[in-house]
């Protein structure tokens, strides 16, 4: 059981971009993972996070700001309180995790393609024979439906791959594997919100953008356009939101933002204002 302490807590509520729909990342996260309460040693700070209710002690959640009944999850010096991501910082974590999953899926898929290409390179002749046998069987069937298999672009493309040299195919498989590894490393790093992973993602993704654009000039598909747009947005978003390459004050400003968004910090500065006034 809990109740809202500060209805207009500006750190807790964010306006989504979709038609003004409100997305409360903090409360959604607390609903899934539970609240985080902490009893700091500093008695002034302690008072601000603690409430005596008719049914017992309540402590203010460091993420959503609600008072939660029961014992605090931790206690000690204020400086050792868990740094609970909340507000914009928490929203950024969600977006990074979405990108991490997207990259993991892409990475695994590309590994499978690389394995397929490598296997194909080892049994090119066998696959060619098999393919031609199927073609011989299917040719009359397709002819019945007035479809000329021998002039079909799909068949033509497949037959062209039979002409590729073994070494070319192995090289393609190796390049695909290398690309997949980058994607998977990005995925793990982004999931844990590592700063090196954000740099890697921005640099590697930006490096592949010209190739993606070139691909589009060769053949346009919805998936390719969606991937290109997602990658451009990811590069811009991570670089700007995470203040990479010294953008918007760089790492120092990013750490400050993270700290200042923590509820304990908010309470601390509020307490200082009281003593100063
Ligand atoms: Zn909470």
Whether the pLDDT of residue 177 is over 50: the answer is yes
Mean pLDDT of 24-45: 89
How many angstroms is it from 11 CA to the middle of ligand 1? 12
Give the pLDDT confidence score for residue 108 in this predicted structure: 96
For 146-165, what is each residue's pLDDT tens digit? 787 777 777 888 888 888 88
How many angstroms is it from 8 CA to the middle of ligand 1? 15
* Rounded Cα–Cα distance for residues 258 and 86 (Å): 9
How many angstroms is it from 93 CA to the middle of ligand 1? 16
Greater pLDDT, 145 or 39: 39
Mean pLDDT of 167-195: 93
Give the pLDDT confidence score for residue 6 in this predicted structure: 44
Beta strands in 37-182 (DSSP E): 38-40, 50-53, 56-60, 67-69, 74-76
pTM equals 0.70
Mean pLDDT of 161-174: 87
How many angstroms is it from 267 CA to the middle of ligand 1? 16
b/e per residue 134-163 (b: at least 16 CB within 10 A) = ebeeeeeeeeeeeeebeeeeebeeeeebee
For 52-98, what is each residue's pLDDT tens digit? 999 999 999 998 888 999 999 999 988 888 888 888 888 888 899 99
How many angstroms is it from 83 CA to the middle of ligand 1? 13
How many angstroms is it from 75 CA to the middle of ligand 1? 17
Q: Which of 1-15, 119-133, 197-211 has the lowest mean pLDDT?
A: 1-15
Q: How confident is the model at residue 268 (pLDDT cuts 50, 70, 90)?
A: low
How many angstroms is it from 24 CA to the middle of ligand 1? 11
Give the pLDDT confidence score for residue 173 in this predicted structure: 92
Dihedral sign (CA 100, 65, 78, 250): positive
Whether the pLDDT of residue 262 is over 70: the answer is yes
The whole-chain average pLDDT of the chain stands at 83
């Amino acid at each position: 059981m809990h109740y809202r302490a500060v209805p207009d807590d500006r750190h807790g509520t964010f306006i989504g971009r979709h038609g003004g729909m409100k997305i409360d990342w903090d409360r959604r996260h607390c609903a899934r993972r539970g609240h985080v309460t902490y009893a700091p040693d500093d008695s002034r700070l302690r008072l601000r996070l603690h409430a005596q209710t008719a049914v017992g002690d309540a402590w203010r959640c460091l993420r959503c700001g609600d008072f939660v009944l029961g014992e605090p999850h931790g206690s000690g010096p204020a400086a050792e309180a868990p740094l609970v991501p909340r507000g914009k910082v928490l929203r950024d974590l969600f977006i990074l995790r979405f990108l991490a999953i997207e990259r993991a899926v892409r990475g695994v898929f590309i590994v499978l393609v690389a394995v397929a290409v490598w296997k194909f390179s080892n049994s090119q002749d066998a696959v060619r024979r098999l393919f031609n046998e199927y073609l011989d069987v299917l040719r009359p069937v397709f002819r019945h439906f007035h479809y000329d298999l021998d002039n079909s672009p799909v068949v033509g493309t497949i037959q062209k791959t039979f002409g590729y040299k073994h070494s070319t195919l192995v090289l393609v498989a190796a390049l695909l594997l290398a690309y997949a590894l980058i994607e998977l490393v990005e995925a793990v790093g982004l999931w844990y919100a590592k700063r090196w992973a954000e740099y890697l993602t921005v640099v590697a993704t930006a490096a592949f953008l010209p190739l993606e654009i070139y691909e589009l000039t060769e053949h346009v598909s919805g998936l390719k356009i969606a991937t290109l747009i997602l990658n451009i947005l990811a590069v811009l978003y991570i670089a700007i939101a995470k203040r990479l390459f010294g953008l918007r004050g760089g790492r120092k400003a990013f750490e400050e933002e993270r700290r200042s968004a923590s509820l304990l910090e908010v309470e601390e500065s509020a307490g200082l204002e009281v003593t100063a006034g």
